[in-house]
Amino acid sequence: MPTSEQTLDEILNLAATQFKVPREKLSPDDDFFKTLRIDSLQALSLLTRLEQHFNVELPDYELQGVSDFRTLADRIQARL
Amino acid sequence: MERALRPRLMQEFRGKALSWELSNGVIEVALHREPCNEIGAQSLDELEHLAVALPALEQNAHALIFHSKLNCGFSAGGDLRELYRGMQSMERQAALAGIRDFHQRIHHVMNALDASPLTTIAAVHGIVFGGGLELALVCDLIMADKTARFCFPELRLGLIPGFGGIPRLKRDLGNGVVRDLILTGRSFNPTKAQQVGLVSQVVAEGEALRVARGTAAQLGKFNRATAAAAKRFTKPIPYDELRQEIEIVCELYASPAVEAALKKFVESTDAQPYLP
């Protein structure tokens, strides 16, 4: 099983690729809505990508209020 | 004059919310109402136009494909902003009567599509929420690309799906999955949707329409009467439950809590307005 830091790193890589943002511009505590300049519908697209990559299911309500990569990684880590 | 126009109108239609074209025995219906194919009065008018045109189109077709031209996805469902504005602009009893009329009309369209002898395919991507998912559920097959996300968020507004969602989900899926979708309001990714039997095929991003066209071409090789008979046999229409659904939805709309939830949604500036 990957460590929390590995999970976080993979999320940052995936987000950078999907939304064409330089990886070095993303930090764990960034608000991903602002850093990636995405809306709620694009966030759902990221959720789908993350679920497929980590082979987990993340109910929407578990992500309610989550807007930073580190907390997102914690939620995924809890289901690995 | 009218006789000269009729064939073109039947074969091809260009509306504000949707367009269709019949070619090589396949009717392709494209949804294109910004921002995300919300189903309001205009969409309903044009869906009714399709339902009226359908019997004539069916004479020269074997398949029908619904798809969206918008990047956001297939459809975000009912137009809640239009609904809320409508409720605010008239007396309560008139608003509730309007809601009942809207639901009866859209059920009529959905039932016509459900009963069509054509093999129908929803080629979906992105957002497939609420009424958008109900439109997809009317189809015989759902082909989804990897960006698709399926959800019935109605309970978040104090409602249940109103365009035939629960009866058609119950027809096609196990009841545990139906409860999961309806009672949690969570969204399914396409892999999960395929695992539970909602989706027929999952394809790469941007490929759903191409794969649907390929499937439609294959279906054209089959005997149409046999395909229609197979469809009738495997896809009974739950008319009693559909009528029941309209009654339940209309009762729920009478609750002040629904209007309050709609107001909150419409006025929300949150990043995730679809969450309560």
CATH number for the domain that contains residue B108: 3.90.226.10
Distance (Å, whole) CA B118 – CA B108: 17
Put simply, the answer to whether A44 touches B271 (Cβ < 8 Å) is: no
Q: Whole domain around residue B149: which residue ranges?
A: 2-267
Q: Determine contact: B168 vs chain A, CB below 8 A.
A: no
- Retrieve residue B203's tokens: 């394809």
Supply the CATH number for residue A47's domain.
1.10.1200.10
Q: Which residues of A51-72 are buried (b: 16+ CB within 10 A; e: fewer)?
A: beebeeebbbeebeebbbbbeb
Q: Which residue is associated with the tokens 């698709």?
A: B148
Which chain B residues are closer than 8 Å to A33 by Cβ? 271
pLDDT number for residue B1: 45
- Retrieve residue A31's tokens: 């608000």
Average pLDDT on B40-67 reads 96
Quote the percentage of chain B above a pLDDT of 70.
Answer: 94
- In DSSP notation, B203-219 reads E-TT-HHHHHHHHHHHH
Considering only CB atoms, A59 lies closest to which of B36, B73, B184, namely B184
Spatial CB neighbours of B171, under 8 Å, sequence gap ≥ 6: B235, B236, B238
What count of CB pairs under 8 Å joins A to B? 53
Residue B275 resides in a domain: no
Q: CA-CA-CA-CA torsion for B67, B73, B74, B80, nearest 10 degrees?
A: -150
Distance (Å, whole) CA A20 – CA B129: 26
Q: Determine contact: B68 vs chain A, CB below 8 A.
A: no
Q: Determine contact: B199 vs chain A, CB below 8 A.
A: no
pLDDT band at B273 (very low <50, low <70, confident <90, very high): low
Distance (Å, whole) CA B114 – CA B130: 17
Closest CA to B209 of B269, B268, B133, B121: B121
Q: Specify the number of domains making up chain A.
A: 1
pLDDT number for residue B271: 56
Distance from CA of B134 to the nearest CA of A (A): 19
What is the identity of the amino acid at B47? L
Backbone dihedral angles phi then psi of residue B146, each to the nearest 5 degrees: -70, -10
pLDDT number for residue B10: 73
Considering only CB atoms, B271 lies closest to which of A39, A48, A60, namely A39
Residue B29 resides in a domain: yes
Q: Whole domain around residue A19: which residue ranges?
A: 4-77
Which chain B residues are closer than 8 Å to A52 by Cβ? 146, 189, 191
Put simply, the answer to whether B192 touches A57 (Cβ < 8 Å) is: yes
pLDDT band at B264 (very low <50, low <70, confident <90, very high): confident
Sign of the Cα pseudo-torsion (A35, A40, A42, A43, in order): positive
Sign of the Cα pseudo-torsion (B81, A68, B193, B175, in order): negative
Residue B274 resides in a domain: no
Distance from CA of A36 to the nearest CA of B (A): 13
Distance (Å, whole) CA B147 – CA A50: 11
Distance (Å, whole) CA B246 – CA B107: 9
Q: Which residue is associated with the tokens 């697209």?
A: A45
Put simply, the answer to whether A40 touches B274 (Cβ < 8 Å) is: yes
Write out pLDDT tens, residues B160-209.
999 999 999 999 999 999 999 999 999 999 999 999 999 999 999 999 99
pLDDT number for residue B265: 85
Put simply, the answer to whether B185 touches A61 (Cβ < 8 Å) is: yes
Residue B198 resides in a domain: yes
Q: Determine contact: B186 vs chain A, CB below 8 A.
A: yes
- On the CB side of B197, CA atoms within 13 Å amount to 11
Sign of the Cα pseudo-torsion (A56, A59, A60, A64, in order): negative
Average pLDDT, chain B: 92
Distance from CA of B230 to the nearest CA of A (A): 34
Write out pLDDT tens, residues A37-52.
888 778 888 888 899 9
Q: What is the pTM for the complete model shown?
A: 0.92
Residue B182 resides in a domain: yes
Residue B272 resides in a domain: no
pLDDT number for residue B270: 67
Distance (Å, whole) CA A77 – CA B96: 46
